[in-house]
Chains A and B, each alone.
Chain A
Amino acid sequence: MSEVIWTNEGPPLTFRQRWNGYLIIGALALALLLGLTLRSNTLNATQTLENLEAGIRAQIPQGWLVDSGGADYVFRAEDPDALPFKTLLQVSILPVGPDATPGNILYLIDMQRPNTLPAYRFISRSQITLRDGSPAIRRTYAYTQDERNPALESLPIVVEGVDVIVLRRSQAVIVTYREERSAFDDNYYRFENLLRTLEIF
C-alpha cells in the first residue's frame, strides 16, 4: 500500500506575480469604489431650485417632479419612482404678523391640516437650530393618503410627515417632508439635505 502525501506547497511566487495580484485587487477595489461613487452621485444628484421673489434657494434630488406654481407653496418636489407613496419635499411660505411665534404658526397649521389631510394626527414637537443658527420648531405628524377615485382599488397609506418652521421677518418658512411610514427613516436624509442647503435670503 502506497501512501500519497499531498501538500499545497508550490514554487514560491515571483515578485512580479505577487504584485500582479496586488494590482488586480487594487483595481477591483477602485472599480468598486468608482461604481459606488457613481451610484451615489446618480442617486443623490441634486438640482438647485431658486425663487427670487420668495427669497428661497435649496437643493432637491435630481429627477424629481417639481412644482413651483402652487398657491400655498414655493416649490414642491416628488419622487416619481417611489412606491407606494411619492416621497415629498416642500417649502412653503406663510405671511405672519410681527408678533407671531413658531408656536403660533403651528397652531395655524394644526387648525388647517385636519381639513385637508385625512386622519391627521400630531406626533411630536421639538425645538431645533438650523445650520445658520436660526431657532426653529420641528414637528412630526401622520395622516392617511387615500385614493379619491372610487373606481380605483387601493388601501389607505399611512404617511408620516415632518415640518420645520422658521420665522424670517414677516414670513414663516415651512419645510416639509412626507413619506410612507415604513420608508420614512430611510429617506429622511433627503430632508436633511434639503435643510442643510436651504438658504433664505
Chain B
Amino acid sequence: MVAKRRGSFALLMFALGLLSLLIGLGLPLMPLERGQAQDDPTPSPTPDSPLVELNEDVIKRATVFIMQTYQGANEPVISCVGSGTLVSADGLILTNAHNVLPSERCPADRLAIAVMVRMDEPPIPTYTAEVVVASQGLDLAMLRISGYLDGRAVEPGTLQLPFVELGDSDSARLDETITVVGYPDIGDEPVSVTRGTISGFTAEARAGNRAWIRTSATIPGTMSGGGAYNRDGKLIGIPTISPARSGGETVDCRIIQDSNGDGRADRNDTCVPVGGFISALRPSRLARGLVRGAALGTTLGDDLTNTAPVRSSGQPAFRNLFFTTRINEAGIPASVVGTVPAGTSSLYLFFDYENMVDGMVYELRVTVDDIHAPDYSLPPVTWSGGQRGQWYIGSAGTPWRNGLYDFRLFIEGREVASVKIVVGGGPREDPMFSDIVFGVLDEGGGLVGTNYVLPEGSAIQARFNYRNMQSGIPWSYIWYYEGAELTRDTANWDGDAQGTRLITAAADFIPGQYRLELYINNQLAAKADFVIAGGAEANTALIFSDFRFTTEQSAGTPGVIRTEFPTGSRALYAFFNWRLVAPGTMWTRRWSVDGDVLFEITEPWDAPPDGENYFVSLDSLNTLPDGTYTLEILMANVSLHRLDARIGLGQLPVDTFASAEGVQMTGRITDAETGDGIPGALFVVLEPEYSVEDFLWTEAQVLGISLADNEGRFQVPELLPRGTTDEPMLYSVLIRAEGYIPITADAIAVTGETESPVELNVALSRN
C-alpha cells in the first residue's frame, strides 16, 4: 500500500515536473503574440508599452564594467572606470579608448573586467583584459579578455560569453528610440538601461555627416564605452564622454581608497572620475573596422618609415573660421556664407588647426540668441584630425531655427576661437562664388582632370561658379602654398551675372599643399584646398606606381611577388614606388577584407619626395584568415589606387563572425518535493537534427550543456539558432541528476518570434 502510494506520488511529481517544463517552454511560444501581430501589423508604441523590441537580457549580460588599476602601496588602486560591451563570445570588448589607455590622469598596469552575474546586482570583477587595438582620435578601443583576476590565463576558445552584434548606424533616424546600456557607478548599482531618442547628428571632417549621434537620453559618465541599441537590439552607438584630465574640469571625482599607503584616504590620494553626462554617441560604423580587425586577429603592420608623429611644441590653435551650407565628396566647402536663410537644414563650421594631437579634448559650444543650444553644440570629445589641416563640424538634416548663433571653440577647456552667424530671413540675392574645382587645360581649352590632387606643373586652373554678380563689383583671388601667399590678383567683375569661370596662377606648382581663396568686395566668398603631387600622366597625377604584394620582406626588399597567396600567411605587404610627394602631405591608406574596412590611417607623408619600395603591411596574431584583402590609397579624400590580394580561398570563412542572434535557454532545476535547487543537475540541449531517442551520448550530438549551480540555476552558454514560423528549429532537451527521475522533451520549437531567454523551471522527482 505504501509502495503504491509512493509510486503514485512519484508519478504525480513526474507529471508536475513535465507539466512545468512544458509550460516553461510553451510560454514564449504562445500564439497570442502572433495573433496580436496579425491584428495590428504596425503597432504604434504607447507610453506604457516597451518602446524597444530587443533582448535586454542578453544586452545587459554583454555589458561589462571596466576598471583601470595599478598596484598601489598596499593594494590595487582603481584609477578610472567605464563601461564596455562584449562583441564576441570569446571575450572581445568594444569600449572607449580613454577607458583603457593609461594616461597621466588614469595610470594603469592592469584592466579589470567586471561582468554581470545576477541581473539585479552590480557586476563582479572577474577577468583581466588586454588592449587589442585602440584609436585615441575616435576614442574607441577593442579589448580581449585574457585572464582571471588571480593571474590565470584564459585558454583561447574556452569563453562562451553573451555578446551583441553591431548594427547599421547609418540607418538610424532622427527621433528614433534608442536604448543605452552601461554601469552608472562603481559597484553599487546593477547595469542601467536608459531610453531616449536620437536628437541629431553631428558632422566632423573625415568621419562625415554622422561622426556623432546626439541623444536626449540622460547618460551618466560611467556609462561611457557602453552601448546604444536600436529597436532590433543591435549596437549602433558607443556613449562617449571626454577623457578626464589632470587638473582639468572634472564634475565628480571620488576619493575611495588610500592609494598612497599613508593610512588615510584624502586629497593626496587618487580619485576616480565618475561625473558628467553623455550626450554624444560614436556611431558603430566607426567601430566596425576595429571590431573586425580584432575578431580576425589582424593588426596594422610595419611600414617603411614607422615614425611616430612629431608632437609640436607650439600652442594648439584654431583659426580662419567660416561657414558653409554644403560640402562635396572631397570634404571641400562649396561656398562661404555670412548669413543663411530661414529653413536651412545644414550648416558647417570650417576652420584651420595646428599643433593639435590626436586624443586632445576639444569642444564646440553654440548659443542661439545667447541661450545654450546643446543640439548644435559638440560636447568635449577627443581630437582625431592629426597635427594640422582644415577641419569642420556641423550638421545636415537638422533644422536650424532662426536666431543669432555664436560658435565658440575650446581646446582642453580653453576658448580659442569664436564666430557668429545669423540664421533667418528669406533667400538672399547676394553675389556669390561656389564649387571650386581644379584641373589642367586640354588642347581645346577645356578643364580636364578636375580633382583636388593634381600633378606638378604650371598649368593648374581653377574653375568656380558665380551667381548674382554685377559688373564692376571688385573681386579678388589669392593662391597659397603651404600657408604662405603665393600670388593674388584683384579686378572688377566684367562678366555675366551667372556662370562658370576659369582662373589660373602664374606660378610653378611644386609638390605640396595649396589653397585658393576667392573674395567679393573683400569678403571671403569661396575657398578650396588641393594637393600637388606626382607627375602628369593623361592629365592626372601619377604619384604611386608599381604596386606589388608579398607576404615577406627583408630590409625593405619584397619577397615573392604575387597577388594570390596560400592559406597560412602571417603578414601581407604592399610595396610601391612614389614620386613628387612633399613631406607632410596628408595621405590615407585603407585596408579592407572582403569589402569591410579594417584599418584606415591618415597621416603626413614622412618619406623623401621620391623613392622606391615604400611598403605598408597588414599583420596578424597568428595567420591572416582566407580572404580578399584590399589596399586603397587616398589623398585629399580622393581615391588614387585600389588593389586586391587573395589569401587562400579569397573569402572569409562563413562562420568567421559569429552571430549573436539566437535564443538563450536558462532556468532552474529543483527537487519536486522540497523545492530546493539541485546542484550539479545536468541540462543538455541536442543539435536540432537529433531527438532524445537518437541521442547516443556523443559530443557531436550536443548543442549545449549546462550544470546547475548551488541554487539549481543553469544557463546554456550556446544560443539556440532560430527557425522561421513556417519551419521552426526543433530541439530536444534532457535533464538528469543522480537520484532523480530524468526528464526529456522533444520538438521544442524555436522560431523567429521566440523571445529570448527561454526560462525553464524544471522540478525533478526522486526515484
Complex Cα spacing A125 to B114, Å: 15
The answer to whether the Cβ of B187 comes within 8 Å of any Cβ in the partner chain is: yes
Contacts A95-B265, A170-B265; A103 near B122 (Cβ below 8 A)? yes
CB-based contact B188/A122 at 8 Å: no
Contacts A107-B114, A107-B125, A111-B149; A96 near B78 (Cβ below 8 A)? no
Which of B122, B257, B258, B264 has the most chain A CB within a 10 Å cutoff? B257
What distance in Å separates the Cβ of A4 from its nearest Cβ neighbour in chain B? Answer: 40
Complex Cα spacing A97 to B262, Å: 12
Complex Cα spacing A69 to B224, Å: 43
Residue of A nearest to B75 (CB): A112
CB-based contact A96/B257 at 8 Å: yes
What distance in Å separates the Cβ of A187 from its nearest Cβ neighbour in chain B? Answer: 19
CB-based contact B256/A100 at 8 Å: yes
CB-based contact B124/A110 at 8 Å: yes
The answer to whether the Cβ of B619 comes within 8 Å of any Cβ in the partner chain is: no
DSSP class of A's interface residues: helix, strand, loop or mixed? mixed
The answer to whether the Cβ of B472 comes within 8 Å of any Cβ in the partner chain is: no
Partner of B67, one of A72, A107, A125: A107
CB-based contact A97/B269 at 8 Å: yes
CB-based contact B149/A110 at 8 Å: yes
CB-based contact A120/B76 at 8 Å: no
CB-based contact B187/A115 at 8 Å: no
The answer to whether the Cβ of B148 comes within 8 Å of any Cβ in the partner chain is: yes
Partner of B187, one of A94, A101, A112: A101
CB-based contact B78/A99 at 8 Å: no
Contacts A96-B256, A97-B255; A111 near B78 (Cβ below 8 A)? yes
Residue of B nearest to A122 (CB): B124
A167-185 vs B: 1/0 string, CB under 8 Å? 0001000000000000000
CB-based contact A110/B125 at 8 Å: yes
B3-17 vs A: 1/0 string, CB under 8 Å? 000000000000000
CB-based contact B76/A111 at 8 Å: yes
B252-273 vs A: 1/0 string, CB under 8 Å? 0011111000011110010100
B124-135 vs A: 1/0 string, CB under 8 Å? 110000000000
CB-based contact A98/B255 at 8 Å: yes
Partner of B254, one of A100, A105, A106, A112: A100
B349-392 vs A: 1/0 string, CB under 8 Å? 00000000000000000000000000000000000000000000
Interface residues of B in 221-269 (CB under 8 A from A): 254-258, 263-266, 269
Complex Cα spacing A130 to B277, Å: 35
Complex Cα spacing A69 to B151, Å: 29
The answer to whether the Cβ of B207 comes within 8 Å of any Cβ in the partner chain is: no
Contacts A97-B256, A97-B269, A98-B255; A114 near B149 (Cβ below 8 A)? yes
Complex Cα spacing A98 to B258, Å: 11
CB-based contact A97/B266 at 8 Å: yes
The answer to whether the Cβ of B117 comes within 8 Å of any Cβ in the partner chain is: yes
What distance in Å separates the Cβ of B758 from its nearest Cβ neighbour in chain A? Answer: 25
Residue of A nearest to B255 (CB): A97
The answer to whether the Cβ of B40 comes within 8 Å of any Cβ in the partner chain is: no
The answer to whether the Cβ of A123 comes within 8 Å of any Cβ in the partner chain is: yes
The answer to whether the Cβ of B112 comes within 8 Å of any Cβ in the partner chain is: yes
The answer to whether the Cβ of B689 comes within 8 Å of any Cβ in the partner chain is: no
Complex Cα spacing A170 to B266, Å: 9
A114: chain B residues within 8 A (beta carbon):
148-151
Residue of B nearest to A100 (CB): B256
Complex Cα spacing A125 to B121, Å: 8
Contacts A95-B263, A108-B76; A115 near B150 (Cβ below 8 A)? yes
Complex Cα spacing A170 to B269, Å: 13
CB-based contact A103/B187 at 8 Å: yes
B74: chain A residues within 8 A (beta carbon):
72
B124: chain A residues within 8 A (beta carbon):
110, 122
The answer to whether the Cβ of A37 comes within 8 Å of any Cβ in the partner chain is: no
B266: chain A residues within 8 A (beta carbon):
97
The answer to whether the Cβ of B29 comes within 8 Å of any Cβ in the partner chain is: no
What distance in Å separates the Cβ of B149 from its nearest Cβ neighbour in chain A? Answer: 4
B67: chain A residues within 8 A (beta carbon):
107, 111
The answer to whether the Cβ of B186 comes within 8 Å of any Cβ in the partner chain is: yes
A94: chain B residues within 8 A (beta carbon):
257-258
The answer to whether the Cβ of A156 comes within 8 Å of any Cβ in the partner chain is: no
CB-based contact B117/A95 at 8 Å: no
CB-based contact A103/B257 at 8 Å: no
The answer to whether the Cβ of B69 comes within 8 Å of any Cβ in the partner chain is: yes
The answer to whether the Cβ of B139 comes within 8 Å of any Cβ in the partner chain is: no
B101-115 vs A: 1/0 string, CB under 8 Å? 000000000001010
Residue of B nearest to A110 (CB): B125
The answer to whether the Cβ of B165 comes within 8 Å of any Cβ in the partner chain is: no
Interface residues of B in 80-129 (CB under 8 A from A): 112, 114, 117, 121-122, 124-125
What distance in Å separates the Cβ of A171 from its nearest Cβ neighbour in chain B? Answer: 9
A102: chain B residues within 8 A (beta carbon):
188
Complex Cα spacing A95 to B72, Å: 14
The answer to whether the Cβ of A118 comes within 8 Å of any Cβ in the partner chain is: yes
The answer to whether the Cβ of A51 comes within 8 Å of any Cβ in the partner chain is: no
B255: chain A residues within 8 A (beta carbon):
97-100
Contacts A100-B254, A107-B187; A95 near B264 (Cβ below 8 A)? yes
The answer to whether the Cβ of A68 comes within 8 Å of any Cβ in the partner chain is: no
B59-82 vs A: 1/0 string, CB under 8 Å? 000000001010000111010000
The answer to whether the Cβ of A104 comes within 8 Å of any Cβ in the partner chain is: yes
CB-based contact A108/B265 at 8 Å: no
Complex Cα spacing A22 to B124, Å: 63
A156-172 vs B: 1/0 string, CB under 8 Å? 00000000000000100
CB-based contact A104/B75 at 8 Å: no
The answer to whether the Cβ of B185 comes within 8 Å of any Cβ in the partner chain is: yes
CB-based contact A101/B188 at 8 Å: yes
CB-based contact A97/B265 at 8 Å: yes
CB-based contact B186/A104 at 8 Å: yes
Residue of A nearest to B259 (CB): A97
CB-based contact B257/A108 at 8 Å: yes
A170: chain B residues within 8 A (beta carbon):
264-265
Residue of B nearest to A72 (CB): B74
CB-based contact A100/B257 at 8 Å: yes
A104: chain B residues within 8 A (beta carbon):
186-188, 254, 256-257
Complex Cα spacing A12 to B117, Å: 74
CB-based contact B121/A111 at 8 Å: no
The answer to whether the Cβ of B218 comes within 8 Å of any Cβ in the partner chain is: no
Complex Cα spacing A95 to B256, Å: 9
A118: chain B residues within 8 A (beta carbon):
150
B264: chain A residues within 8 A (beta carbon):
95, 170
Complex Cα spacing A28 to B117, Å: 56
B271: chain A residues within 8 A (beta carbon):
97, 99
A50-65 vs B: 1/0 string, CB under 8 Å? 0000000000000000
B149: chain A residues within 8 A (beta carbon):
110-111, 114-115, 120
Complex Cα spacing A123 to B710, Å: 9
What distance in Å separates the Cβ of A95 from its nearest Cβ neighbour in chain B? Answer: 4
A100: chain B residues within 8 A (beta carbon):
254-257, 265
B269: chain A residues within 8 A (beta carbon):
97
B150: chain A residues within 8 A (beta carbon):
114-115, 118-120
Partner of A96, one of B122, B125, B265, B710: B265
A112: chain B residues within 8 A (beta carbon):
75-76
A105: chain B residues within 8 A (beta carbon):
256
CB-based contact A122/B117 at 8 Å: yes
Assuming A101-B187, A103-B187, A118-B150, what are 10 further A-B pairs, CB within 8 angstroms?
Answer: A95-B265, A97-B254, A98-B255, A101-B188, A104-B256, A107-B186, A108-B75, A108-B256, A115-B149, A122-B117
Chain A residues packing against B (C-beta within 8 Å): 72, 94-108, 110-112, 114-115, 118-120, 122-123, 125, 170
Interface pairs (13), CB distance under 8 Å: A94-B257, A95-B263, A97-B254, A97-B256, A99-B271, A100-B254, A101-B187, A106-B122, A107-B114, A107-B187, A111-B67, A122-B117, A170-B265
Listed from nearest, the 3 A-B pairs whose CB atoms lie closest are A97-B255, A103-B188, A103-B187
Chain B residues packing against A (C-beta within 8 Å): 67, 69, 74-76, 78, 112, 114, 117, 121-122, 124-125, 148-151, 185-189, 254-258, 263-266, 269, 271, 710
